[in-house]
Amino acid sequence: MTSERELAQAARAWPFGEAQGLLKRLGGKAPEKGYVLFQTGYGPSGLPHIGTFGEVVRTTMVRQAFHRLSDIPTRLFCFSDDMDGLRKVPDNVPNREMLAEHLGKPLTKIPDPFGEHESFGHHNNARLRGFLDNFNFEYEFQSSTDWYTSGRFDAALRTVLARYDEVMAIMLPSLGEERRQTYSPFLPICPDTGRVLQVPVIARDVAAGTITYRDEAGKSVEVPVTGGHCKLQWKPDWGMRWYALGVDYEMSGKDLIDSVRLGSRITQALGGRPPMTLTYELFLDEQGEKISKSRGNGLTVDEWLAYAPQESLALFMYQKPKAAKRLYFDVIPRAVDDYLSHLGKFADQDPAQRLENPAFHIHSGHNGPPAAETHLSYAMLLNLASVCNTEDPAVLWGFISRYVPSARPDNAPILDTLVGNAIRYYQDFVKPNKRYRAPSAPERAALEDLLEQLQALPANADVEAIQTQVYEVGKRHDFPDLRAWFKALYEILLGQNQGPRMGSFISLYGLSESITLIRRALAGEDLAAE
For residue 500, being part of any structural domain is answered with yes
User: Do 445 and 521 lie in a common domain?
Assistant: yes
Q: Which H helix or E strand runs over 75?
A: strand 74-80
Domain tally, the chain: 3
User: Do 343 and 414 lie in a common domain?
Assistant: no
pLDDT tens digits, residue range 385-440? 988 888 899 999 998 988 888 899 999 999 999 999 999 999 999 889 889 999 99
- What is this structure's pTM? 0.88
For residue 221, being part of any structural domain is answered with no
**Which of the listed residues 320, 336, 363 is the one where a domain comes to its end?**
363
288 torsion bin: left (phi>0), alpha (psi -120 to 50), beta (else): left
CA distance 399 to 393: 10
For residue 477, being part of any structural domain is answered with yes
For residue 249, being part of any structural domain is answered with no
3-state secondary structure at position 39: strand
Instruction: Say which residues have a Cβ less than 8 Å from residue 346's Cβ, sequence separation at least 6.
Output: 354, 357, 359, 360, 369, 372
For residue 486, being part of any structural domain is answered with yes
Show the low-confidence residues of the chain (pLDDT under 50). Answer: none
For residue 145, being part of any structural domain is answered with no
Residues in the chain: 530
For residue 130, being part of any structural domain is answered with no
Determine the pLDDT at residue 319: 95
Closest alpha carbon to 457 in 504, 500, 400, 515: 515
Determine the pLDDT at residue 292: 62
User: Do 461 and 513 lie in a common domain?
Assistant: yes
User: Do 445 and 525 lie in a common domain?
Assistant: yes
Residue 499 domain boundaries? 441-529
**Which of the listed residues 339, 363, 387 is the one where a domain comes to its end?**
363
User: Do 447 and 400 lie in a common domain?
Assistant: no
Return the number of other C-beta atoms located less than 10 Å from residue 40's C-beta.
26
**Which of the listed residues 393, 410, 433 is the one where a domain comes to its end?**
433
Cα separations in angstroms, 109 against 121, 141, 145, 149, 379: 8, 19, 10, 13, 47
C-beta of residue 5 within 8 angstroms of C-beta of residue 52: no
User: Do 342 and 389 lie in a common domain?
Assistant: no
CA distance 22 to 64: 13
User: Do 426 and 445 lie in a common domain?
Assistant: no
The residue type of 477 is H
User: Do 402 and 478 lie in a common domain?
Assistant: no
User: Do 317 and 394 lie in a common domain?
Assistant: no
CA distance 187 to 205: 16
The sheet with strand 276-280 has its strands ordered as 140-143, 74-80, 36-42, 249-253, 276-280
Determine the pLDDT at residue 367: 67
For residue 326, being part of any structural domain is answered with yes
3-state secondary structure at position 141: strand
C-beta of residue 80 within 8 angstroms of C-beta of residue 107: no
CA distance 231 to 101: 21
User: Do 318 and 352 lie in a common domain?
Assistant: yes
User: Do 428 and 445 lie in a common domain?
Assistant: no
C-beta of residue 520 within 8 angstroms of C-beta of residue 456: no
User: Do 458 and 520 lie in a common domain?
Assistant: yes
C-beta of residue 168 within 8 angstroms of C-beta of residue 182: no
Exposed, middle or buried: residue 522 (CB in 10 Å: 0-12, 13-18, 19+)? middle
CA distance 356 to 349: 10
